[in-house]
Amino acid sequence: MGRILMIAVALLVSLSCVRSNAADKVRSGDSLPYFILKSDVNGELSSLELRGKVVYMCFFATWCPSCQHELKAIQDRMLPEFKDEEDFMIVAVGREHTDAELEKYNKERNFGFPLYPDPDRAVYSLFAEEMIPRAYVVDRDGVIVDASTGYDEEHFSTVIKTVRDLLDNSTSVEID
């Protein structure tokens, strides 16, 4: 009985982290919505401050297995590739998490990028209604060139290439 319950819980958690386009509010080709993220740990960040930078923005939850894979890929693959790029920024947003929760979580994981809280889904609600992880690649002009839901290792490799292309070129690049 305990094993069946564990499988049922795992299935429900997985279903809450699957791909769905129906809940998208922001898609590739759209402009980045205006928002302000507030964090006692990392300070305040406005979407206006991202202009002129190539941005990888993701929404995650600490309980979501797919989110854990994405955050690990950001730490292990994306951060080393772009850590010295002044015009690149990672914006990781903990949906329905507080600063305290994210600070505790980051002490366990030791990520090399800031985690911003979005306890009431105020910022998340500008991008989508449901489903995580969600990630967006934003060009220097504030245009979203890639929007994805869920974590897929092959797609993440394409995202890294796209970020590199955006950083190396002054023109926008789109992912298929």
Q: Give per-residue pLDDT as tens, 61-108.
A: 999 999 999 999 999 999 999 999 999 999 999 999 999 999 999 999
Does some domain include residue 14? yes
pLDDT digit string, tens, across residues 110-137: 999 999 999 999 999 999 999 999 999 9
Within-domain flag for 144? yes
Neighbours of 127 (CB within 10 A): 24
Reported for 38-43, long-range contacts at CB under 8 A and 24+ positions apart, including other chains, are: 38/116, 38/117, 39/99, 39/114, 39/116, 39/117, 40/99, 41/99, 41/102, 41/103, 41/114, 41/115, 42/114, 42/115, 42/116
Mean pLDDT value across the chain: 88
Residue identified by tokens 């305290």 is 100
Peptide bond into 133 cis (omega under 30): yes
For 22, the domain range is 2-168
**99, part of any domain:** yes
pLDDT at 3: 52
Q: Is residue 35 part of a domain?
A: yes
**What mean pLDDT comes out for the span 49-59?**
97
d(CA 127, CA 124): 5
Residue 109 · residue 71 · CB < 8 Å = yes
Q: Does 176 map to a domain? A: no
pLDDT score, position 23 = 75
- Does residue 173 belong to any structural domain of this protein? no
How far apart (Å, rounded) are the C-alpha atoms in residues 147 and 82? Answer: 20
User: Is the separation of the CB atoms in 90 and 74 below 8 Å?
Assistant: yes
Kindly give, in sequence order, each residue whose CB lies less than 8 Å from that of residue 120, ignoring residues fewer than 6 positions away.
Answer: 96
What's the structural domain count of the chain? Answer: 1
What is the domain-level CATH number for residue 82?
3.40.30.10
